[in-house]
Structure 1
Amino acid sequence: MLRKILLATALASLPSAGCDSQACTLIGCGSTFQIALQRAAWTAGEYTVTVVADGETIECAATLPLQCDAPPACPQSSQLILGLEGCALDPSQHKLGNLEFQQGRAPKSVAVQVLQDGALLGEGQYSPNYSESQPNGPDCEPTCVGADGVTLTLK
């Protein structure tokens, strides 16, 4: 299954009759690998998500309830995003979303550990199987790299 690489529905591009050129659409790439963090009820507290990607440790931190003007949960240089969902909603609807590796980072080995106020909520280890695709057609940029996403169920 191709991951959410297609950001818009596009018509297939066909070469024009009698013309050697090909029109390309403008679809971009999504994340390379994502881990959905699933929990029955997200409660207030300090959350720490530690990711070890190909031996590099990345620490992400968030506090629930969320603040809409909070800085990103993960270091920007890590090419890893921790989704924070619902900051404009009632605090009972705030939650951590997906961990997403951005294009340019496709780790072969990923270990994740999620803590709330120092207590372990869950952990997982993954070996993504990546493939390449060209969502705008052959010979059209970009070439996207992606693997099927997974779900980490937390207690």
Structure 2
Amino acid sequence: MKKVLVLHGVNLNMFGRRNARHYGTCTLAEIDRALVELGAALGVHVETFQTNQEGDLVERIHAALDDGTDAIVINAGAWTHYSYALRDALEILSIPVVEVHMSHIEAREPFRQQSVLAPVVSGCISGFGLQSYLLGLRAAVSLLARDETAP
């Protein structure tokens, strides 16, 4: 069974308590539960990881090189906009990486409109709340299926 790792960055453990206009009312536990359920329906194992420590997220990305991770879905939170350490860690990977955001980052404050991760990920889905994560998982699984059928 393929393994998809879902990474949640800084402050995302506060979903459900943050600005509902931007982030909705789902908690991180609800998001993780929905991802695991969808993963089962899609025939993949979903593992989730959240941290407020940038170095811990870099270490988890490094671990993905050797732990059987087949694809990553990542919402790096605010690190999206300035963490070259995360960008460099993701660039090491040779697996599909899908960036997701609950809010529509391109319609928010100017500093949130730029993703330093964008050049090294397969694609980005934003602005659909919980659905951004679920669409991101579907995209990752689709990319895995495409890679399996490539000559």
Q: With structure 2 as the length reference, what TM-score do the two structures score?
A: 0.27
Larger radius of gyration: 1
In proportion to residue count, which structure has more helix? 2
Higher strand content, 1 or 2: 1
The structure with higher relative contact order (CA 8 Å, sep 6+) is 1
